[in-house]
Amino acid sequence: MGNRLTNVPEHAASLWSTYELQSGDLKGLGFGLGLYYVGDRYADLDNTSVLPSYFRTDSAIYYKQENWRLALNFRNLFNETYYETSQSRNIIYPGAPFTVIGSFSIQFLP
């Protein structure tokens, strides 16, 4: 059996789900939660350096009406330290810290 490829975990999983209120005064208000797990993986082709596994939680809150949507996304909700990828055992890229992303979108209908 040969060496494993760089940055490829043996186990990884993700789940993202949203819920949107369908009636009442807050119709269009939605919430989302994302869970991401990445197992241990090697940082080099010689399999001499290991990037540790990590579990990251993301979330979102949004409000939409007719053709527009306003949203806030929260990435790495608990500000976990993790390593996202590597080019070699000497070049390792950390994952982003807690990040908030705001967006506004309009859909133009024919």
> What pLDDT sits at residue 9?
95
84-104, pLDDT tens digit by residue?
999 888 899 999 999 999 999
Map out the domains of the chain as residue ranges. 12-106
32-53, pLDDT tens digit by residue?
999 999 999 999 999 999 999 9
pLDDT at residue 1 tops 80: no
Locate 76 and state its tokens: 């790495």
**Burial letters 69-96, b for 16+ CB under 10 A, else e:** bebebbbbeeeeebbeebeebeeeeebe
- 87 near 45, Cβ under 8 Å? no
Report pTM.
0.84
> What pLDDT sits at residue 2?
83
